[in-house]
Structure 1
Amino acid sequence: MKPFAFTRATDVDTAIRAATQPGARFLAGGTNIVDLMKEGVEAPDQLVDINRLPLAAIEAQPAGGLRLGALARNSDTANHPVLRTRYPLVAQAILAGASGQLRNAATNGGNLRQRTRCPYFYDVTQPCNKREPGTGCSALQGFNRNHAVLGTSAKCIASYPGDMAQALHALDAVVQLQGPSGRRTIPIAQFHRLPGETPELDANLAPGELITAIDLPAESARFAQRSHYLKVRDRASYAFALVSVAAALDMEGSRIRQARICLGGVAHMPWRAREAEALLQGAEPNMALFRQAAEAALAGATGFEHNRFKIELVRRSIVRALETTSRSTA
């Protein structure tokens, strides 16, 4: 590991100023960046420790939403009584991720910023446009079982590894940011990026910008009674998703007033299946409808040599998640 400077920030402004220096990175739980440093994938000149910043509160908002502090640990977030009651989809997604030990260390902000687990990204002897732009994507002709089938580009087919973010995308969360130019908010749908021509960029953040909180809107609490996070993986715990589905339904009588579906493990970012959501709106839930929605969600999917099975797996997972959600009452 390359030697680096270490700065312990005592306030947000100090942290941001330090992070604007070339080669500086924020350090919170460290569950991802420390691994990347050990593997030589990232070699920051300076780590800015933000763990002492007052950003760990989880607070109900005056308008009825819930603010998740960026430094709140994943375990504390998943077990918060208001989150479990009003936004259970987020709690389910967090608890499906990693292990209890990692959830005790990982932060909400860091969770959003975690990087792909593509083996070619981690292997510094292999070409990787995400790690070193312009060198090529080894996964295109390599072993690509865990890679994306939606939103890919010729530059990168890596998949997003997280769980919590799928639930946040499904519930239209808003990310609070603070940086050298001040404060701003960004809908989570605009936070993550597809690879396009710049796969090295995972999120739409300016240099030195810090996630301070994640807001769950009051109106998304209407999905509390019918929501489900389905994670399909190779083993029951401590494994990243081959496919995941965050599904939520808001019912009006026997019809679906509004549906939310966000897929994980299938794209460079959490993938909202908006065509499927539109198809479900106003309809009565049934298996045939769920299959149509699954087809709509996968209309643009393209598999590669080792991951074509994912397309059918996603279809079946969407149907299963919607079926479970439609029968749920809490």
Structure 2
Amino acid sequence: MPKSANQKKKLLYLQKILLEKTDDAHAMTVNELKEALAAYDIHADRKTLYDDLELLGGCGLDICTIRTNTVRYYVGNRDFQLAELKLLVDAIQSSKFITRKKSLELIDKLSHLVSENDAKQLRRQVFVTNRVKSVNEKIYYSVDILHNAISADRQISFIYYKYEVDFTSPERIKKVPKKDEPYAVSPLALCWDDENYYLIAFDSAAGIIKHFRVDKMERIEQLAAPREHNDIIDAFNPAQYAKAVFSMFGGEEADVRLSVDNDKIGVIVDRFGTDIIISPESDKTFTVNLRLILSPQFYAWLFGMENKIRIISPEYAKIAFSNKILAVSSGH
């Protein structure tokens, strides 16, 4: 039989077919492999296919067999097992700092590391759609710049944004620089907490260590100046800092309506994202309906807002919060 022009590609396509179409629940016979190769205009006889399978196995591809009335072949161990990739997909889906678009791109890339049938279990975009996600598409590259600056022992500069209420605009929430001039800091570490990415850095102007939400950082540049070194930085422990500063909430979910002072819009956006509906309540306040968690940590967070954020409904949440305040004031 004359060889087709694609014969030299046969091993590559055979490996591609095995990786994409087989797993322990979906093995293929030699005849099925022949048919799959024919779709790429590659002709193969049984003997050469046996030799090719043996060659691929000898080169590290874990080709396993199932023996019944015939022999079926599939790829066993891979660089990533399905359970491992599910963990990575869950992390991507739950991460606020990764935009919805980038989340879907990453999940699609991960799905190519398993068979087509197993990939269906990884493509669960519905969860990505319903989560609060960053709107900063550049964050994926911002993290890389920050890692490089830390590794190169260099300072960085960036513009840091905050949110304000603006009922004159259709969006009602606008993003503005927190201060006129860029920040210049010595980056110390990156911390992932409560589904967000934070940069922990030493701010020379303030003389203290601060943390910044990476999705609020733009125009990040690595500077020529080396990172500052002092007693505060030398004594810095990233794990201890993260444990002291960041916290997680847990408890029952409820539909809650809040009355919020306008200057606390940034706090609301930080916690719940920009995909929220706010309505003017007065010249200085607005209301927002949220699906959130009623827990001791939530009430403590609310208490820390110094009455700038107030519960409107449900009534039982108002009563629970009042009772907790009374308990604190009475020393119980």
TM over 0.5: no
In proportion to residue count, which structure has more helix? 2
Query: TM-score, normalised on structure 2?
Result: 0.25
Q: Which has the larger radius of gyration?
A: 2
In proportion to residue count, which structure has more strand? 2
Which structure has the higher relative contact order (CA within 8 Å, separation 6+)? 1
